[in-house]
Chain A
């Protein structure tokens, strides 16, 4: 049957034409297409891998960032606390110093006042003594203007002296 016996003419043409088609396509057709597509799929694969890596790194960064943020917040509160403490300390120190200063001033003032007072008293005493001497002088001069009185006075002085002698 002719169906299962290959015809020579067709064989000849098939070999020739298929050969030419294969040669042309293998040289100018398929390698360009498959090469480009392979390159592109390689690139896509690489990009996907890169994206995954970046995503992982991003997640890492996020964790790190959160950690950093927390640390910062802790530090912030610590600093705030320290600042408050420092404020209180400075204030209290200032207060204490002020009080000390005031005490010192007060003490100085008191000393000065005491001194002033004493010197004033001394002056007063001196004045009083002088005055009493002058008064006594004037009294004595008046009383001892006559001889009877002079004598009585001398007697009195002698008595007093004698009594003082007896007492001691």
Chain B
């Protein structure tokens, strides 16, 4: 974050006479949103960006980079999405956007780290020696969701669900931290994107509701309540079952998004204050850098807490669905 601040500061220094007001919402939404190319920085007025393939399916598959969108008959609408240049309609857009590239990179990173860790256990006898370095750190991290699963799902069948919870926990944790990193390959706001959190929450939803016990479904549809509540309870229970993934989605998405927005706002203050003279802007720069450092530290905490909370709630939901008749 400090690096970003410095880079932006240098950029601003390159054009100190610019009288334009800083368009804060645009800057922030550009950062937290998605793009068709990975904009890294600007150098001497030219954008430095990684071009990404746009993949559009509409009467055939079109693959092109953003620069050549017009040749294929597509253009960006006011929201920055590809639309058909003639009809103005959104095609089926499977582009490898900035978020998708970040998704691929972070997933590969996670695969490499975890499989590397697993390789150690394959090659060593864990009963005779303890791992060192990355492996031991990963072991500690992997055991967090594993133990959550044991506590909330029960000794009987937590092993079935532990791999899912481990994947979810480490995936969210890694992407939260990559999101805090201000430079490539971090900086994408992946866990603050509702599509991503929705998929994660739906995974939990399907895991809960497709592997529930008879007792769980009985509690939903034929709960043991007084007669006049009998028709009402199933409605409430079904509603609550569907609200669980929604709350999971919104919680992770909103927390991570808010963190990104707060940090970006802190950085933007520096540029807003630039036109009010050196004294004021210098003072505010110090303040916002200090706040930025504080918020970054807070975000590191939140990154962990949100991954933990998502895993914890998922395991509790699964645990509730795995209860047996007493």
Contact = CB atoms under 8 A, between A and B. Distances in A.
A22 B204 CA distance: 13
29 contacts: A2-B79, A5-B194, A6-B193, A6-B194, A7-B34, A10-B34, A10-B97, A10-B195, A13-B103, A14-B195, A15-B199, A17-B104, A17-B107, A18-B203, A21-B110, A24-B111, A24-B115, A25-B114, A26-B164, A28-B115, A29-B111, A29-B115, A29-B118, A30-B114, A30-B162, A30-B166, A33-B114, A33-B139, A34-B143
A26 B115 contact: no
A34 B103 contact: no
Contacts of A25: 110-111, 114-115, 163, 166-167
B103 A17 contact: yes
B44 interface: no
B93 A8 contact: yes
B139 A26 contact: no
A59 interface: no
A10 B103 CA distance: 9
B171 interface: yes
Contacts of B163: 22, 25-26, 29-31, 34
B100 A13 contact: yes
Interface stretch (A35-43, A102-110, A160-168): A35-43
A18 B200 contact: yes
Contact of B99 (A10, A20, A21): A10
A34 B126 contact: no
Interface in B65-114: 79, 81, 92-97, 99-100, 103-104, 107, 110-111, 114
B127 A39 contact: yes
Contact of A11 (B127, B198, B257): B198
B225 to A, nearest CB: 36
Interface residues of A, number: 36
A13 B94 contact: yes
Contacts of A24: 111, 115
A32 interface: yes
Contacts of A18: 107, 171, 199-200, 203
B257 A6 contact: no
Contacts of B32: 3
A36 B129 CA distance: 11
Nearest to A43: B127
Given A6-B198, A9-B97, A22-B167, A33 B34 contact: no
B213 interface: no
A32 B122 CA distance: 7
A13 B52 CA distance: 14
A34 B199 contact: no
A29 B164 CA distance: 11
A24 B196 CA distance: 19
Nearest to B114: A29
B162 A34 contact: yes
A110 B238 CA distance: 135
B170 to A, nearest CB: 8
Contacts of B223: none
Nearest to B253: A4
A26 B81 CA distance: 35
Contacts of B29: 3
Contact of B196 (A14, A22, A33, A34): A14
B33 interface: yes
The 6 closest A-B CB pairs, nearest first, are: A6-B195, A26-B163, A36-B126, A29-B114, A10-B195, A30-B166
A7 B195 contact: yes
A32 to B, nearest CB: 4
B142 interface: yes
B146 interface: yes
Contact of A33 (B79, B100, B103, B121): B121
Nearest to A40: B126
Nearest to A20: B107
Contacts of A3: 29, 32-33, 194, 257
A20 B110 CA distance: 12
B127 A40 contact: yes
B281 interface: no
A14 B97 CA distance: 12
A39 B167 contact: no
Nearest to B29: A3
